[in-house]
Amino acid sequence: MNGKESNSKEVENNNLDNRQNEKEDLEATASDSDDFIEISTKEHYIQKFGIDPAESPIFISYNAYRRIVGYAMRYGNDDLPQRSWREVYGILIGSIKENKEVIINDAIPVMVGGRAYVEYKSKHYVDTAQFNTAIYERAVQDNKEDFFVGWWHTHPGIGFIFSPRDIETQLFYQGVNPYAIAVVFDHCQKGSKSYYLGIAGIRLKNPDRGMFATYSNAIELKFEFEKEKMVKQVEKDIKEINKNIGNALKQINFIDEVLRKKGLAQLQRNFGLIMVLKRDVKITEDELEAEEDDYYLYEWDPEIDKKIYRIPKFREKIEKEIKKYEEILINLKKTDQTTDFKKKKAKFSKKIKEMLVKPNEWYKKIIGDFTKSIEIIFPLFDYLDTDERKIIEHFEERSSEYQKILDDLNSRSDFNL
């Protein structure tokens, strides 16, 4: 055997030894850990917890049931013509008890759709992501284990079936969490023998088949109170909701159309304090143009605010006046001109405060009206969807941004150097 053949044989033997060692290491690791078991398989759960996740029972709190029915019956009830009934969609918040039972603590309304389906738009993915963050933060704060345990929607007059779109949605939830549940509400079934509360729990029996999966609408449901008590109480709550929801929606429209689009917008135009974009953001499919336009998203630049935003003229004028007066007062203080310092300070403070009178009065009036509207909306807040809540949140964000700057200017107008 020559030298080349000897080297080749040695390399081959080393490779065989390495592969054998790797195999032994993997086998040893697998025997000591469950990490190599596909935990998504029902067999694993049955073996470990004694139950198939797709068949695990559901516990529904009254709070969750109330929110589902309260929002759903805004768009589907016997007092509305059947042609105007619309489906609604929401998410379920809760936990999994001992890997055997799903606890639903809350049901958040997200959106309303059409007669036969709900279209999930991109903005609702953003809303859902924000919910997820808020739920996690609240769970950490309250030392709870709440998270998304599924979704709920309505089939007014249709019953407890899954459309292809429903299967697709459930595939997403159940693919992430094999215990995930879909709760379906049909007000026409409320009071019936089989579905007394008008709801059913549905899961895919074989999600591994994708869109060809079959489903079960016979998931065992447990409730916080007796069924009769749940229905009786929710009917009482529905009457109160129906009585007041119209006024609450009027107040939401008032916040959007009057307080935000007119009041706050006019306040910013006349007495602008919030930084304004120098130009509109371009929407483009040109990758190079987009990269050039959005570079500030990825690169740190301490001067970025000056490049992207401009200071409104009103704020710029006040900032210049305050800076000028501060320099004068600092010089007087340095030279111990106490009497002149006090006179000038009072004079300058009065002048700045006079400039801020109108924005302070205007802002106070807007916030006063907003507070009155919130007092009417608040008792119905649980039955608002994300679009309606976003109107309130957006106004709060913009108004607080204005207030923060206004409070700073009011404080600086005292010239407490």
pLDDT, one tens digit per residue, over 167-180 is 999 998 998 889 99
Contact 223, 194 (CB under 8 A): no
C-alpha atoms less than 13 angstroms from C-alpha of 383 in its C-beta half-sphere: 23
Residue 234 has pLDDT above 90, yes or no: yes
Nearest Cα to Cα of residue 147 among 110, 95, 102: 95
Torsion of CA 191, 195, 198, 200, to 10 degrees: 170
> pLDDT (tens digit, 9 = 90+) per residue, 38-97?
444 667 676 777 778 888 999 999 999 999 999 999 999 999 999 999 999 999 999 999
Q: Please give the DSSP secondary-structure letter assigned to residue 181.
A: E
Rounded mean pLDDT, 144-163:
90
% pLDDT > 90, the chain: 65
Q: What is the mean pLDDT of residues 177-196?
A: 94
Query: Which are the contacts of 67, defined by CB distance < 8 A and separation ≥ 6?
Result: 90, 106, 107, 108, 109, 382, 383
Q: What CA–CA distance (Å, rounded) separates 338 from 334? A: 10
Place of tokens 């307080």: 259
Which bin fits 64, alpha (ψ -120 to 50), beta or left (φ > 0)? alpha
Looking only at the bridges linking them, the beta strands covering 221-223 and 276-277 are: unpaired
Is the separation of the CB atoms in 223 and 197 below 8 Å?
A: yes
Extract the tokens encoding 270: 């006349």
Determine whether 344 is exposed, middle or buried from the number of CB atoms within 10 Å of its CB (0-12, 13-18, 19+).
middle
Task: Write the single-letter amino acid at 131.
Answer: F
Q: Which residue in this structure is represented by tokens 């200071």?
A: 311
Q: Backbone phi, then psi, for 145, in 5-degree steps? A: -120, 30
pLDDT digits (tens, 9 = 90+) for 281-320: 444 455 454 444 444 444 445 565 556 778 899 999 999 9
Q: Report the run of H or E that residue 339 belongs to, with start and end.
A: helix 338-377
Helices (H), 282-337: 287-293, 304-308, 313-334
Q: What does the alpha-carbon distance between residue 134 and residue 127 come to, in Å, rounded to a whole number?
A: 10
CB 323 within 8 A of CB 414: no
**Model pTM?**
0.75
Q: Catalogue all structural domains in the chain, each as residue range(s) with its CATH number.
A: 53-224 (3.40.140.10), 251-275+311-412 (no CATH)
C-alpha to C-alpha distance for 225 and 196, rounded to whole angstroms: 13
342-361 pLDDT per residue, tens: 999 999 999 999 999 999 99
Determine contact, residues 156/186, Cβ cutoff 8 Å.
yes
Q: What is the C-alpha separation between 96 and 116, in angstroms, rounded?
A: 31
What are the structure tokens assigned to 195, written together?
């579905």
Radius of gyration over every alpha carbon of the chain, rounded to an integer in angstroms: 31
Question: What letter would DSSP give residue 92?
Answer: E
Q: Residue 335: its pLDDT value, please?
A: 92
